[in-house]
Amino acid sequence: MTAMELEQIVLQARQQGDVAGLMAHIPYARLIGMDMALDESGNPRFLLPFQPKNIGNMALPALHGGVIGGFLENSAIVHLMWTRASTQMPKTIDFCVDYLRSARAVDTFARCEVTRQGRRIAHVTATCWQSAPAEPVAVARVHFLLT
Amino acid sequence: MSDETSLFERDPDQVRRLHGGFFNAIPHSRELGLEVVDMGPGWGVLKVPYRPELIGNPTTGVLHGGVITSLMDSTCGLAVFCRLPRMEAIATLDLRLDFLKPAVIGEDVFARAECYRLTRQIAFVRATAYQRDPEDPVATSTAAFMRASSSAKKPFPPREGQ
């Protein structure tokens, strides 16, 4: 896929409100099975339906910490592509994730916030939860290069 | 400070046997194709072979950061297991990744992690991810793990002959 083709996909997805259309073009997002919808306020809400292949601890069982990290990072990437002016994929500079609770073998949700967007750098925070938003499973923050 | 000798130093074969096959038994590690390359007292090396399914950027073919995150988390975990005085369940408290440069498309990525400090409750780990040259990393990472984190009775799946 060329950069221009990706731009078309992003623009089209935004125009038609086709949130899932964007996700379908990111192989890793398909691999972990993540999806996206818009909440009542029109903000992206990310979903990671439970799949046995995302398990990292069979004894608990719990999702793999890497899956939670990848889910949060990809949520931040797509959130930024959905909400900001540019249509290319931002480059991750660095990424921090804090694991607050064990991620059980159930559906997981995430939402993001662009804390600051400058000309070159964006700072995005992402939170994921399972049973209740007030009980986050993990929080992450990402610095992106926007060029 | 904990100066407990690692199980690896006392019985390296047991640790190799446990963890050599252990990562293949974890569903998500298998999904990503993670392979144990090497391990020693307090350190471990894993590899993730390049596959189109792991791509994050469809215009460049670069692996998704989430793949590197899983690789780093798993390698750091292996390093902790190779430092612990006995088998314990552990849980990642936090993980930071710095993406120094894009990984070369089509080439496998390795990660080497070292547990450089172990206390009674916490293990501190650092790691680097690289492709051909360990001195030329594509990403670096630091992580903290909690020890004896699990309430589960058996941190490892029962294995035949044990």
pLDDT tens digit string along A69-95?
A: 999 999 999 999 888 766 888 999 999
Of A55-69, B70-84, B93-107, B137-151, give the lowest mean pLDDT range: B137-151
A88 contacts B28? CB cut-off 8 A? no
Which residues of A fall within a CB distance of 8 Å from B95? Answer: 65, 69, 96-97, 99
Give the pLDDT mean for A16-41. 89
Find the helix or strand (DSSP H, E) in which A101 lies. Answer: none
**β-sheet bridge partners, residue A144:** A92, A122
Q: A3-145 in CATH: which number?
A: 3.10.129.10
**Would you state the structure tokens that stand for residue B111, as one six-digit string?**
């990660």
Residues A42-48: what's their mean pLDDT?
A: 93
CA distance B51 to B32: 9
If phi > 0 it is left, if psi is from -120 to 50 it is alpha, else beta; for residue B61 that is: left
Q: Tokens in use for A7?
A: 């731009």
Domain ranges of chain A: 3-145
CB of B23 closer than 8 Å to CB of B34: yes
Structural fold of domain B7-147: Thiol Ester Dehydrase; Chain A (3.10.129)
Query: Can you give the residue ranges of every domain in chain B?
Result: 7-147
Put simply, the answer to whether B91 touches A99 (Cβ < 8 Å) is yes
